[in-house]
Every structure is written in C-alpha cells, then in structure tokens.
Amino acid sequence: METNAQFLDRLTQPAWIYEEESNGVRCLACAHQCLVLPGKRGVCKMRTNKDGVLHSPWGYVAAMNADPIEKKPFMHFLPGSLALTFGMLGCNFHCDFCQNWVSSQTLRDPASASALRYIREIQPEGVVAAAERAGAKVIASSYNEPLITTEWAIDIFNIAQEKGMRCVYVSNGFATERVLKALQPTLDGLKIDLKCFSDEHYRTLGGRLEQVCHTIQFAHDLGIWVEVVSLVIPDFNDSTQELWQMAEFVRSVSADIPWHVTAFYPTYHHTSAGRTPPETLQLAAEIGQEAGLQYVYAGNLPGRVGSLENTYCPHCQSLLVKRWGYRVEENCVTDENTCPQCGQVVAGVWH
C-alpha cells in the first residue's frame, strides 16, 4: 500500500534551487540549507533527494481560494483586490500555535494526514485560469510555507505576470538570499512573520531570529514590497520590551514598512494561553507608532481596535483608506500614490 510520503513524492519535479555536494544535495530554498542525502528529506519533509537530484513539490494545490488581499494581510498592496491564494503542504517550522497546522505539519504530525484528502492536481495554467475566473488581480502563495515550494510558485507567477497579475508570498521569512534573488523577478509583495524577538523562542519554533531579520532587510533592499506581521501571543511575545524590540527593528529597516499586530486565539498545541485582548493590540500599536513606524495596524479583531484598521497620511493624518475587517469602505490614495490633501507620497503598491 502506498504511504502518504510516497504519494506526495509522485507530485514532485526536479528542483533547481540547490547545489550538489559530494555526499548529497544542499537545498537552498530556506535558511536550514539542509544537506539532503540520497533517499532522504529536508526538514520541511517535502523536498527529497531522488537518485542525487533534489525534487520539490509540483503540480497540485491543497487549498485554493479567492480572498481579499487584506486577509493575507496586506494593507498597502492593491487595497480591496481579490487574491487567488493557493497552498501546498509542509513547512520548515513547527510552531505549536500554527493556525494552518493541518497543511503545514503534513508528514511531521500524524494528526495532519487528513490534509492529503484536499489535494487537487493542477497545472500552473490552471491556477492562473482560476484567478482570471475569480477576477483576482493578485496571486498569493500561502497556507503552508511557500519558500519550500518556490519552483512551483515561480512557474505560476511567470504565467500570471504575462496576464498582468501581481504575485505575493505569505511567509515565515526563513529564507536564503539565493531563493529571494530567484523570486525577485516575479515577486511583487512579501508578507513576513516576525514571530518574536527572542532567538531562544525562535529556535523552539524551528528557526533563528537573525535570519528572519536578514530576510526582512534583504527583501526590502531588493525592492520587493514588504509588510511585517507579529501575532501577539500572551506570555510568549507580548511583553512591552519585546514589542519595542520588534517595532524598533522594523523601523531600522524602514519607517514605511507596515507593521501588523494581530490577535492570537488558542489552537493546535498552544491552548494554555488565552486570546489576545484588544487592549494588548492597542498597546502594541502605540509602541510601534512611538518607535517611528508610519503605518501600524491591528488585526483579527474587526471593529474592536478603533482606527487601527485604517490607513492615515503620515504627514497630515488625513484618512486615506477606511476599512472594517477585510472590507475596504473608502480609498482616497491618488493615482500618483499620494495623499489628496497634502500631496505626501504614501508608501505601497496602490495601483
């Protein structure tokens, strides 16, 4: 009987984001940079060495939906647009609070085996055609960690670009410079999770703080539009000191990077902590603003965080984009990407 791993291995193609070494292949799709021996798998469980050639997932989706771009979340990237969002399986992290754990922890957690039932085999042209039918202006790779399936995403993004669509990643940011350079020609936007500012905590999730910070800086330097999200978890990363550290780091890269502080709810193995109260998000947002960030947002609590769902001009404070949850009710940013009241340029991808 075919195992789940054998089934997924059939849905692969030779990868190209790797280097050959004398005793295996060095995967460069994420910062683990796994040395994958013949017949073995990388940390993500999805990239495999078949007879000396690295193979990566290709030719399927485990989820595909048209969602508001604000759900990713992106606030400064074509507000009000639909994003055709697709995902595969697997992740290079093992966060115990993952909200998409069924898809992300496949082959790592036996409880996620049900994810295979949702697999739909499809070609890149089929994904783009689905976006066209939905009227989506954006195609997003999300749900699982997109870095580990970058070859598949690039094949889709190349076709999407020809159709005039924009392309984005929703990622944990544990990237290499090699993979970011490979993505640069087709990737317009990158949402990166800054999960905490403690390397000790990051290592419990499967990553390293320094590398995620480097990804934020390097992607920004490459000219990719970056937005940063921090899920604020009680007793994990919600201390005033750690919120200041996260905000100050984002500010050190650019004051124009939007910082989203979003509410946690108990899930997966992280059920001892309570939900994030609105007051904590308000405090986090105030810290971000005091740190000098121009655009700070609070999410996952629609209607409960006051003006922190909206975009305001950093110069004259005029309301530019009014939102409620994922719905854009008003967008006043001009065709020149400026504030209509004072002419201030508003950072982002607006048109």
- Cβ atoms < 10 Å from Cβ of 225: 22
pLDDT class of 132 with cuts at 50, 70, 90: very high
Report whether pLDDT(303) > 80.
Answer: no
The string of pLDDT tens digits covering residues 44-66 is 999 999 999 999 999 999 999 99
What does the pLDDT read at residue 299? 85
CA torsion through residues 323, 329, 332, 337, sign: positive
Q: Is residue 65 exposed (0-12), middle (13-18) or buried (19+ Cβ within 10 Å)? A: middle
Q: How far apart are CA 97 and CA 185, in angstroms?
A: 33
Q: How far apart are CA 6 and CA 178, in angstroms?
A: 29
What does the pLDDT read at residue 349? 98
What does the pLDDT read at residue 306? 82
What does the pLDDT read at residue 124? 98
pTM of the model: 0.97
| Residue 69 · residue 138 · CB < 8 Å | yes
pLDDT class of 82 with cuts at 50, 70, 90: very high
What does the pLDDT read at residue 72? 96
Q: How far apart are CA 339 and CA 171, in angstroms?
A: 30
The string of pLDDT tens digits covering residues 255-282 is 999 999 999 999 999 999 999 999 999 9
- Could you tell me the CA-to-CA distances from 157 to 136, 169, 170, 182, 186 in Å, in that order? 13, 11, 14, 12, 6
How are strands ordered across the β-sheet holding 35-36?
Answer: 18-21, 24-27, 35-36
Q: Which two tokens stand for residue 134?
A: 């939905």
- Cβ atoms < 10 Å from Cβ of 118: 15
**Domains defined along the chain, listed by start:** 4-57 (no CATH), 60-331 (3.20.20.70)
> pLDDT above 70 covers what percent of the chain?
100
Q: H or E segment at 4?
A: helix 4-10
